[in-house]
Structure 1
Amino acid sequence: MAAVSLALTAGAAQAQSAAGAEEYARACATCHGLTGHGDGPLAEYMSVAVPDLTTISAGNNGEFPLLDIIHVIDGRTGVRGHGSMMPVWGDRFEASAASEAGDYGAEVMVRGRILALATFLEAIQQQ
């Protein structure tokens, strides 16, 4: 029974990681680059330097601040990204999901997408 539970947990983690990588490629890579180093094709047009997302833990005493990153990605809590307007992904994700899932379902979908993104960023941290 424990082995089955562990296998299901590992499968869910892999699915979350794949979803996060896909979400990142769709929503973040144009500015932050495919590898997260801040070198996306639109980075040169930004008025502030696009941060290297692979060094978040290094800048935080080796710890990944998951909740802070969730708040930055979500943007609906008033926390803004890197000195200028970053897209408010929570609003954008919610708008795209509301018509198919309703208000409550959309919020569940938004939280899942943001968590997938945040855990993907945690996985690409350089040590």
Structure 2
Amino acid sequence: MTNETNDTNFIALLTLGDMRLLNIKVPEHLADDPDDAVLGLPRNAALILAERVLNAWEVPPGDIGAFLTNITDETLSNVLVIYQLLQVLFPRNEPSKYVHTNNKNYDGRTTWQAIQDGESLKVRKYLEHKSLGGGW
């Protein structure tokens, strides 16, 4: 937990304010922290979590390894936030269904294809818009 997001070993995820807006439980020890405080993870922990996310999305193991090998901090952050946003938007559905369904918002590609093509920020922004009141 820090307000500094330029540390190369720190992967910024969401602000506490975003978490509160999305009804994501803020850890008790951070409950009184300001909305602009950033929740994040050390890069190594974020990589482990991202691998679990990609497995939950039923991404083929070979694709997971290739994707994570040279992943940027921004893409790593986006993948973890996308996962959380999908949990908010579709709490009862299998996350892999959305990730592997063609989507007109990504030019007919699947969400996973858009992420692989370097558009994780576009996917994140789209899901943030939908989850923060933009509707479908």
* TM-score strictly above 0.5: no
More helix by share: 1
Q: TM-score range by the shorter chain?
A: under 0.3
1 or 2 for the larger relative contact order (CA 8 Å, sep ≥6)? 1
* TM-score (norm. length: structure 1): 0.26
Select the structure that is richer in strand: 2
Question: Which protein is bigger by CA-based radius of gyration?
Answer: 1
Question: When the two structures are superposed, what TM-score results if normalisation uses the length of structure 2?
Answer: 0.25
